[in-house]
Amino acid sequence: MSLSQTPRKRRRRVKLTVAYDGTDFRGWAAQTGQRTVQGTLKEAIRRVSGEDAQLDGASRTDSGAHAEGQVCHFDTEVEQTEMWLRALNDILPRDLRVLRSQDVPDEFNSRFCARDRFYRYRILCGTIDPFRTRFVSETHRELDLNAMQQAAKFLVGKHDYRAYTEELDPSVENTVRDMRSVSVSQHRDEIWIDIVGTAFLRGMMRRMAGALFEVGKGQRPIHEVGDLLTAKRKHTKLPVVLPAKGLCLKKIRYGRHPRDNRKNASFDE
């Protein structure tokens, strides 16, 4: 389905909500010669409309990480916004789907207007399940759920999370982030680590999950999860970075009247 012949007037802004199995993508951000979510979407937009649109996403998910509710936006002259969903899904690969397309005000920015981001990290405890192995991290050991829940409390609030980043870009001057909630729960044979924050540093969710995982295995004292947020981090071993496949961006949340929260946005997610 092509939109290249549809009526065009003024440029308008379109918001897309997309989902993807990140296994075979090299993350969100476009990279020359690599299969990425952003690059695949941009090419699909070009094919159906003839427009070389600038596509901006709310979160730069890691290579191999997944999303159920990634949000992005672009400007277009195509009038029929509702047609984007069908047109793009007609040509997108099966591991990437557009869930919704809608008109938004010109002031809307998928990254800078986001109120917070909700990620889930899944750990399968027990026998490897071939139907879930692409979406969970696996361990054969039983984890101490109570200890993980106690440790998670240290991660809530506004702190300096430099010890929890996988790689700090030289351009990043401020490593203080605000975590609205961090919870750990058991769901049959899985442990779910749910993290809601305004923004994240690169690899931060996976290292936070790694710290809680080590606590669950009895390899790290509970208090060290909090020590890593203070000056004591200089004398504390950094947590393991868990595999990206267990991480999923569940939802980007916006207020009723989205406004620019540029100070809360991070280009390192």
Active site residues: 62
Strand pairing class (137-139; 116-125): parallel
Query: Whole-angstrom Cα distance, residue 56 to residue 41?
Result: 11
> Where do the H-state alpha helices sit in the chain?
37-49, 83-91, 145-152, 204-216, 222-227
10 Å Cβ neighbour count for 10? 7
Query: Whole-angstrom Cα distance, residue 189 to residue 191?
Result: 7
Query: Whole-angstrom Cα distance, residue 132 to residue 84?
Result: 31
Tokens for 52? 């070389």
Which residues lie below 8 Å from residue 193, measured CB to CB, with a gap of 6+?
A: 120, 121, 122, 123, 148, 152, 182, 183, 184, 208, 209, 212
